[in-house]
Amino acid sequence: MILETVDLTKTFGGLTAVDAVDMQVEEQEIRAIIGPNGSGKSTMLNCISGVYRPTSGVVKFKGEPVGGSAPHTLTRKGMGRTFQNIRMFNSLTVLQNVMVGRHCRTKDTLVEDILGLPRCRREESQMRVKALEYLEFMGIASKKDMLPGSLSYGQRRMVEIARALATEPRLLLLDEPAAGLSQTEANELAAAICKIRDFGITIVLVEHNMRFVMGISDQITVLDFGKKIAEGTPADCRADPRVIECYLGGKVGGRA
């Protein structure tokens, strides 16, 4: 089990955004967290990735409690993530963006960088080569010298994932990766996510696009008002009356 939350709770003032959620994610699983707007999905992801400090409860990553650790510590331990509203480094080129993801895996010091010593030169060129490989993997290497601002939304999403992969994660958290993508782009993204998983990376994603979620997830966790109301395979969830109720409100009978 690579990721486990026990009784995870996050409150903002009087509002309980995530309410005592237990979740276990196995290695190499694709886990989706779904739920209506405001159900606490993104908050949950932020608690796991260290952006928020959980109010109570435990987050275990690779069996080790990590609740409240800083994001950069978690990244070094092997947890990568992307953001709902893509956060690119807009004054760096696409390639440099991905190179920043490699920084945490390099050891050259400031003095070596200033003097241009062998280790700095070696690490710089390795960073460049590796970054380019990740861009090629996501199919956007031809854009390497462009600024993120001149890319389409879908391309920026691919760069963001390449950048997260560059940190060498064991667990990749994706916050609404398909949001704002065309159907074609979403399909490409889904294929990429499956490919990433096949190489041993566990994926936890928050997503609204049901077609996308049902297509790629192994397991789905459904949240409503911060509480976990269902968990299981896509087929189980689709059939679960509580899930249908929370999405369609009241009357059972619609298709999720």
Partner 1 sequence: MRQRKSMLLPGLVLAAAFLIVLPLLMTTDYWRQLLNQALVYIVIVVGYNFFTGDVGQLSMAQQGFFAIGAYTTALLTTNAGWSWPAALLSSMCVTGVVGAVVGIPTLRVRGQYLIMVTMAFSEIVRLVAINWSSLTGGASGVTKIPSPSIGGWEFDTKTSIYYLFLTIAIVMILVAWRVRKTKYGRAFLAIRDGELAASVMGLNTTYVKVVAFFLSAVFAGVGGNMFASSFNYISPDTFGLSQTVLILAMLLIGGEGSIAGAVVGAIILTYLPELLRFAHGYYMFVYGVLIVLITLFLPGGVVGYAKRFWSRHIGPRVFKIPPPGPDAGDRPFDAQDLFTRSLGAPKKTDPASTAPPVERAGDAA
29-88: contacts with partner 1 (CB under 8 A): 30, 49, 51, 70-72, 75-76, 80-81, 83, 87-88
Q: How far is CA 96 from CA 90, 99, 110, 125, 183, in A?
A: 10, 5, 18, 12, 29
Q: Which of residues 172-231 bind partner 1 (CB under 8 A)?
A: 183, 186-187, 190-191, 194-195, 197-201, 211-212, 214-216, 218
d(C-alpha 38, C-alpha 118), whole Å: 51
Three-class SS state of 213: helix
Q: In angstroms, give the least distance from the CB of 134 to partner 1.
A: 7
Q: In angstroms, give the least distance from the CB of 159 to partner 1.
A: 12
d(C-alpha 17, C-alpha 57), whole Å: 13
Q: In angstroms, give the least distance from the CB of 49 to partner 1.
A: 7
C-alpha neighbours within 13 Å on the C-beta side of residue 247: 20
Nearest Cα to Cα of residue 133 among 103, 108, 165: 165
The verdict on 1 binding partner 1 (CB under 8 A) reads: no
Q: Which of residues 107-136 bind partner 1 (CB under 8 A)?
A: 108, 110, 113-116, 120, 123-124, 127, 133-134, 136
Q: In angstroms, give the least distance from the CB of 227 to partner 1.
A: 26
Dihedral angle computed from the Cα positions of residues 193, 197, 201 and 203, in that order, rounded to the nearest 10 degrees: 50
Which phi and psi angles does 115 have, rounded to 5°?
Answer: -85, -10
**132 vs 229 by CB, closer to partner 1:** 132
**103 vs 242 by CB, closer to partner 1:** 103
**19 vs 88 by CB, closer to partner 1:** 88
The verdict on 232 binding partner 1 (CB under 8 A) reads: no
